[in-house]
Amino acid sequence: MNCPYCNCEETKVIDSRESKDGSSIKRRRECLKCEKRFSTLEKILKLDLEVLKSNGDVEEFNFQKIKRSIMKACEKRPITLEQIEVVLENILSDIKKIELQQLPTTQIGKMVLRNLKEVDEIAFLKFAIVHNNYGSMKDFIGEIEKLNDFEQIDYKSI
């Protein structure tokens, strides 16, 4: 790990703390040259997972796409970055529970919708508009009516 102050490659770990869910480790480091301290965060960057798109294409799973979509849905809403991070952690946790090598985008969308609904119903609807590709206002109004009856994902049926 290079020091962000002097770019020296020699650093030592002073303290390590694992996140509550075990998905990341925060380390406090000290540069052996300039003796300044800094923190690093280790996270899983890549899951061995492919995404099956609605048009039949298969692509590598990209968590950043989910993050961008959620950020867009939460735009101009009274939602904190901490709340968004919790939603993202919950979605990643949901994805890890599934034992498939190819995950359909429809299932990922359901996970996002379930987690967004708990935070903000308007962000939920904004995401649902894009994810479900409504063809008319009638379809969209139907989604609003179903909002109170939204069901949890059954991981065994995926």
Instruction: Mark whether 101 and 26 lie in a shared domain.
Output: no
| Residue 2 φ then ψ, to 5° | -80, 140
Q: In terms of residue numbers, what domain contains 36?
A: 11-43
The predicted model gives 71-84 an average pLDDT of 95
Burial 65-104 (b: 16+ CB within 10 A, else e): ebeebbeebbeeeebeeebbeebbbbbbebbeebeeeebe
Element (H, E) at 84: helix 81-97
Q: Judge whether 150 lies within some domain.
A: yes
Residue 116, pLDDT score: 94
Q: Judge whether 5 lies within some domain.
A: no
Instruction: Mark whether 31 and 89 lie in a shared domain.
Output: no
Measured distance CA(105)–CA(54) in Å, rounded = 7
Instruction: Mark whether 54 and 31 lie in a shared domain.
Output: no
Instruction: Mark whether 85 and 125 lie in a shared domain.
Output: yes
Whether pLDDT at 63 is above 50: yes
Digit-coded pLDDT (tens) for 107-150: 999 999 999 999 999 999 899 888 888 878 888 788 777 765 55
Instruction: Mark whether 107 and 87 lie in a shared domain.
Output: yes
In terms of Cα–Cα distance, which of 71, 69, 74, 75 is closest to 130? 69
The predicted model gives 76-85 an average pLDDT of 94
Residue 75 pLDDT grade (very low, low, confident, very high; cuts 50, 70, 90): very high
Tell which wins on pLDDT, 69 or 139: 69
Instruction: Mark whether 30 and 96 lie in a shared domain.
Output: no
Instruction: Mark whether 147 and 86 lie in a shared domain.
Output: yes
Least confident of 6-15, 101-110, 128-137: 128-137
Instruction: Mark whether 29 and 57 lie in a shared domain.
Output: no
Tell which wins on pLDDT, 77 or 93: 77
Measured distance CA(141)–CA(87) in Å, rounded = 25
The predicted model gives 87-110 an average pLDDT of 90
Instruction: Mark whether 36 and 66 lie in a shared domain.
Output: no
Could you give the number of structural domains in the chain? 2
Orientation angle between helical segments 81-97 and 105-119, nearest 10 degrees: 140
Q: Judge whether 67 lies within some domain.
A: yes
Instruction: Mark whether 36 and 95 lie in a shared domain.
Output: no
